[in-house]
Structure 1
Amino acid sequence: MGKSQAEDYLAKAEKKASSSVGWFGSSNSKWEEAGDLFAQAANAFKVEKKWRESGQAFEREASCRQQANEMNDAMNAFHNAAKSYKKSDPEAAVTALHQCIKLLVNSGHFRQAADREKEIAGIYAQDGLDVAKARDSFVRAGDWYKQEDANATANQCYQQAAELSADLQDYQRSMELYQTVADWSLTSALTKYSVKEYWLRAALCSMAMGDLVTTQRLLETFAQKDVTFPSTREAKFAHELMDACEQADVERYTAAVYQYDQVTKLDNWKTGVLLRIKKALEEDEGGLT
């Protein structure tokens, strides 16, 4: 059986990359031509749905582009490699994206670096591949977006990092991130309406830590930042839960959750944290302190 078109391009690319430069040739043109052939091979492998081979060919292209000092093309090649690897080898996709990020940072393209870091977070978060690494990548992406004044996108990353922190039962970090998200949301009329949700989540995190002193302090701080907050359903719910925890009253706690859910359906995140608080409350007859 003969070679496929992809394998034919790959063989030509390997031959060109390993060839010597003649008297009238240039090293740059050799690497440019080899890079073009590796790119053709990579795309042909994509047509054949050979994702690993495609990713490897794109990475070889990237190496050739670097040899030819074509850094923008090298960045694109690493990104294309990651896209192919995503289909079959998430870790290899992450490695290719890290190579892309390194070149972007060296070139001062921090907004694009943030985009690639966010992709890494998405890969790790998908199917729970590595929740801790996903959280850390979302935070890094958020920091870069913030540096580039892309504040709304930064906030989305911090919000996703906060959710994942709670999944990791790192409620301290989750609480801090939700406060960061809320503080920025307060600065815009378009996002101010969502602040009460983030503050409720921060308060729930402090309760999940068993730290009702911090819960009280948070609610007082939030009331100072927005005088309308104490009258919201979210604030009243948080206060009722806190009081129930202080009194170690499981029935009161359960009733508060039920009543809130009747009007505002609880999402999966809140349900998980509320169940954790309830479990601790049931185990601690003296209540949380």
Structure 2
Amino acid sequence: MDDHIAIAEKLIKKANKKLDGWGLIGSKHKDVAKLLDQAANSYKLAKSKYKARETYINLAIHHLKTKTKLEAAATAFVDAAHCYDITSVDEAIDCLEQGAATYYQKAAQLYYKEIVERHESEKNIEKAMHFFEKAAELFQNKELTVSANQCYQKAAQLAAQIEQYSMAIEIFKKIATRSLSHSLLMDEAQRHLFNAGICRLCQGDDVVAMDMSVMRYVDMYPIFLIHGRLGVQILDLH
């Protein structure tokens, strides 16, 4: 372990010397980043998580300052987050959020997923739900509707899990509406509307309210009453 720490410290000194020295800007920054990455890995091998985390954060900051590789900066923040113990979930999430903010598109694809998993492992359902919605918005901004719908669906399921039925209903309706605007996803709409109907039952809507909601769903998607007779199933349940 001491050998790995000695190697890491030597690499950091070399990186600092590179920064202070002369050289082509692009080449110098690339060399510094490589040295910091190697130093962080050496600290990890030495099981010095604090030093590894500190070095990864410095690496991320280096990438941000030089504006060379934003994706690499995001990756470094995530590597830093992985150096936190399971008891330090909030600190790890802070690192992951910084990584997500650094590289917008990659955030939705990878980093918010990790943030959610951390929250779910801590049974913090409301925060997990919040980050699923943020990930969905990022996907939607990139017009990745399928991925966005998957994240929205997970957010709706979590809302229902903690009995926030009104929120779950609105999210399921939102997914259905988005699905109806894409020919390949239209058949998915009835499932999302059915889930919204189930949530209405769970929150105790009376017969009149249920009938009205079913008719609104039929207006949105006429096949709702035909395919699988899902609308009829909702009516029969109350």
Amino acid at match of 2:163: Q
Task: Report if the CA contact (8 A) 1:82-1:93 is conserved.
Answer: yes
Matching residue of 2:101:
102
Do the aligned partners of 2:29 and 2:66 also contact (CA within 8 Å) in 1?
yes
Query: Displacement of 1:171 after TM fit?
Result: 0.6
% identity of equivalent residues? 25
- Structure 2 CA distance for aligned equivalents of residues 47 and 147 of structure 1: 40
User: What is the deviation of 1:230?
Assistant: 1.9
- CA gap 1:125/1:40 in 2 versus in 1, 3 angstroms: same
Larger of the two Rg values belongs to structure = 1
Return the match for 1:135 from 126, 129, 133: 129
TM-score normalised over the length of structure 2: 0.81
Shift of the 88–43 alpha-carbon distance from structure 1 to 2, 3 Å rule, reads: farther
Equivalences for residues 76-115 of structure 1 within 5 A = 76-85=75-84, 89-104=88-103, 110-115=104-109
Are the structure 2 counterparts of residues 84 and 233 from structure 1 closer, same or farther at C-alpha, using a change threshold of 3 Å? farther
Mapped to 1, the partners of 2:200 and 2:156 lie a distance apart of: 13
Question: Structure 1 87/148 Cα, relative in aligned 2: closer, same or farther at 3 Å?
Answer: same
Displacement of 1:33 in angstroms is: 4.6
1:203 corresponds to: 197
Q: Is 2:56 the counterpart of 1:62? A: no
In structure 1, the residue corresponding to 2:222 is in which secondary structure? coil
- Residues 18 and 188 of structure 1, relative CA distance in 2, 3 Å threshold: closer
- Does residue 1:162 correspond to 2:130, yes or no? no
Separation of aligned partners in 2, 1:218 and 1:32: 59
- The one-character-per-residue Cα deviations of 1:27-58 (angstroms, maximum 9, x if unpaired) are 98776555333211222344566656543332
Higher deviation after alignment, 177-186 or 11-20: 11-20
Shift of 1:114: 1.9
Whether the 8 Å contact between 1:32 and 1:65 is mirrored in structure 2 is no
Shift, 1:140, TM fit = 1.0
Gaps of 5+ in 2: none
Distance 1:75 1:67 in 2: 13
Specify whether residues 46 and 190 from structure 1 end up closer, same or farther in structure 2 by C-alpha distance, changes over 3 A only.
farther
Offset at residue 193 of structure 1 (A): 2.8
How far does residue 80 in structure 1 lie from its aligned partner after superposition? 2.7
Shift of 1:218: 1.6
Deviation for aligned residue 1:103:
2.1
2:10 matched residue in structure 1: 12
Tell me, in whole angstroms, the C-alpha distance in 2 between the residues paired with 1:119 and 1:96.
11
Partner in structure 1 of residue 233 of structure 2? 237
Q: Give the deviation of 1:83 after TM superposition.
A: 4.3
Q: Unaligned regions of 5+ residues in structure 1, if any?
A: 105-109, 243-289
Q: Given the superposition, is the C-alpha separation of residues 96 and 9 from structure 1 closer, same or farther in structure 2, using an over 3 Å criterion?
A: farther
CA deviation after TM superposition for structure 1 residue 81, in Å: 2.4
Cα distance in 2, alignment partners of residues 93 and 136 from structure 1: 17
Task: In structure 2, give the amino acid aligned to 1:163.
Answer: Q
